A and B are shown apart, each in its own frame.
Chain A
Amino acid sequence: MINVKKPGLQTTVQDRGRIGYYEIGMPPSGAMDKYAFTVANLLVGNDPNAAVLEITYLGPVLEFGKAMKISLTGGEIPPRINGQPVPMWTTLEVREGDQLSFDFVKGGARVYLAIEGGIAVPLIMGSRSTYTLIGIGGFEGRAVAEGDVIYTADMRKKEIPVGTRIDPDLIPAYSKTHEIRVVVGLCSYRLTEESKQTFLDTEWTVTPEANRTGYRHRGEKLHFVEREQPFGAGSNPSNVTDLGYPIGSIQVPDGVEPIVLLHDAVTGGGYATIATVISSDLDRMAQVKTNEKVRFVSVSLEEALEARRTVKQKLGVIAQFIEIGM
């Protein structure tokens, strides 16, 4: 078991997510950076869908009630055990009474803490992921709080030697400017040609509204093609007859401040969607912070699928490396 001494800014239990309930308005939730999440579980020999802690911006202070293996992946929020720096992307071992704490964030935005066996919380609709809006999953549907006690589950599949490390070439680099690839489409026909170009040419600044539901960006004003609004669509030119929002889809209410919808977002509504972040770059979006710069780069579906294969291949290499040992 693990005692939560301080919860950090927003520390939640997450796994792969609650898949298959989108039609009832249930977003999937789940780890925002699936690459880091997957590697964290691999490093402690867990089932790929074991629940981990997703740590945001400001880390928690945790005390271990027994010896266990752990791993930390994702953004650079430098971890310390009993005050001593420890490496990320590595299989670590803690002893009973050890304390895990974090320095201020240096790069990226989210860290994943996997513990041997995974976190034991009830499965809700096939997932342990926390969805705070309606209060389900994780710890009573909320972020972890001071005094919570985290128990381990029995989802360990393999014994991984302490000190197992990921090849540095397979660790993502986190900068302060980001190129996020998107497939332009959905209702992009609603934008003027000029605004479509502006959307791709602008260096957007991430606003303080950047969390698990979505990221809002400040920059240029975008314009929609003038028309008489169809019946059922709202009166604003950015309105359409309410429709479903893909995860990663981008909308621009009233033409100001594009919003990228993420894993805890609303599943539908009445704003025109103009592009979708490709699945492999949702992981990178998860490591973007407020005030950092984002440029949206248009790619084809084929390029999106190629990027997806590249990520999968990297994870395959990591899994194989961990399997055969160092």
Chain B
Amino acid sequence: MKEVSQLQTRYEYGGDEFIFVQLSEAMSLEANFKGMAITRKLKEANLEGVYDICPSNASYMVRFDPEIIAPQALLEKLQQIERDLGGLDEITITSRLVDVPVYFNDPWTHEALMRFRDRHQAPDSTDLEYSAKINGYANTDDFIEAITSAPFLVSMIGFVPGLPWCFQMVRQEKQIEVPKYVRPRTFTPERAFGFGGAFSVIYPVQGAGGYQLYGIAPAPIYQKEQTLFDFQDSIVFPKQGDIFRYRSIHADEYQAIREQVEDGSFVYHKKEIRFTPGEVLSDLEAFAERALRRLYHD
């Protein structure tokens, strides 16, 4: 049974400009859907003096100007939205389903992870081999199959611009969990696909990082030049609430997509999907099947 402390919403002031709302201490799809529903309602309310509405994994945060909206009044408004929310069956969420190709076991992330073996739990294996083993998979192919067979919810954006935290939409006992590196790497290639805790990420830019590295995405998730179709409105592609399906690709498709990115013709394959958190949570396998059918066959 869950502890009471994990189910109680906590409202906290972050100085005089922020309110932080923790919906749950533990990560769950329920908590994320709830945060998504509240923050979308708050956006619709279009309150004057509210500058930032940031949904995160199992919490959310609001930045405001206390001279325009009193902190107490805003806090009460947030509480009211939570009270009026209704059950998870009554909320309809519209999300983008996105096909996200990933080249697993690619030469670039392989080179990077081999350079930092002394910072890893298992210096004698690769990140994929290690992660497959500790999650009970016979080999890395089965492990990659587990990652690619069910979609991931983009549960939070942040750390650096555009970085999507993705949480797989499977039952908790099927969730992959891996530790971060013992000591972080000083180098990670741009667009590397990694995993840490219960979350997968794509690194928007080259930099330090501590997540296990499995592959590389050919398509960018951050483009400051904004020349690609998917970046016309924003320099980052992922949006909180997106549903990503990671599709395993080989070197030739990786190369082909890279060429499309370079010549400016690349467009993410995506579809819109509507669902209630209730229907998703009641049968995750059925939802995964429906999502993949919608993405590739509808």
Contacts and interface: CB of A to CB of B under 8 A. Distances in A.
Interface in A25-53: 25-26
B214 interface: no
A232 B27 contact: yes
A135 to B, nearest CB: 7
B54 A267 contact: yes
Contacts of A243: 20, 22, 56-59, 61
B14 A25 contact: no
A304 B16 contact: yes
A244 B157 contact: no
B18 A241 contact: no
A268 B156 contact: yes
Contacts of A305: 16, 66, 71
Interface stretch (A72-80, A81-89, A155-163, A181-189): A181-189
A260 to B, nearest CB: 11
Interface string A225-263: 000001111110000111110111100000000000000
B145 to A, nearest CB: 23
A80 to B, nearest CB: 38
A7 to B, nearest CB: 23
A47 to B, nearest CB: 19
Interface stretch (B99-107, B111-119, B161-169, B272-280): B161-169
Interface string A275-291: 01111000000000000
Contact of A246 (B18, B57, B179): B18
A324 interface: no
Interface in B39-89: 51-61, 63, 66-67, 71
A232 B162 contact: no
Interface in B195-214: 196-199, 204-205
Given A230-B27, A246-B20, A308-B66, A266 B234 contact: no
Nearest to B31: A241
B159 interface: yes
B158 A25 contact: yes
Q: How large is the interface on B (under 10, 10 to 19, 20 to 34, 35 or more residues)?
A: 35 or more
A34 B205 CA distance: 30
A301 interface: yes
Contacts of B51: 19-20, 22
B240 interface: yes
Contact of A25 (B18, B167, B236): B236
Nearest to B238: A24
A68 interface: no
B15 interface: yes
Interface centre among B18, B51, B157, B205 (most CB of A within 10 A): B18
Given A267-B158, A269-B159, A23 B16 contact: no
Nearest to B52: A22
A231 to B, nearest CB: 4
A268 B240 CA distance: 14
Contact of B14 (A20, A134, A183): A183
Interface string A74-112: 000000000000000000000000000000000000000
Nearest to A276: B15
A21 B24 CA distance: 25
Interface string B255-287: 000000000000000000000000000000000
A130 interface: no
A219 interface: no
Contacts of B63: 22, 246-247
Interface of B: 6, 12-18, 20, 22, 24-28, 51-61, 63, 66-67, 71, 156-163, 165, 167, 172, 175, 179-180, 196-199, 204-205, 222, 224, 234-236, 240
16 contacts: A24-B161, A25-B158, A125-B235, A134-B161, A134-B224, A183-B16, A185-B12, A185-B13, A233-B197, A235-B179, A243-B57, A244-B60, A266-B159, A267-B159, A273-B14, A276-B14
Interface of A: 19-26, 125, 133-136, 182-183, 185-187, 230-235, 240-244, 246-249, 266-270, 273, 276-279, 301, 304-305, 308, 312
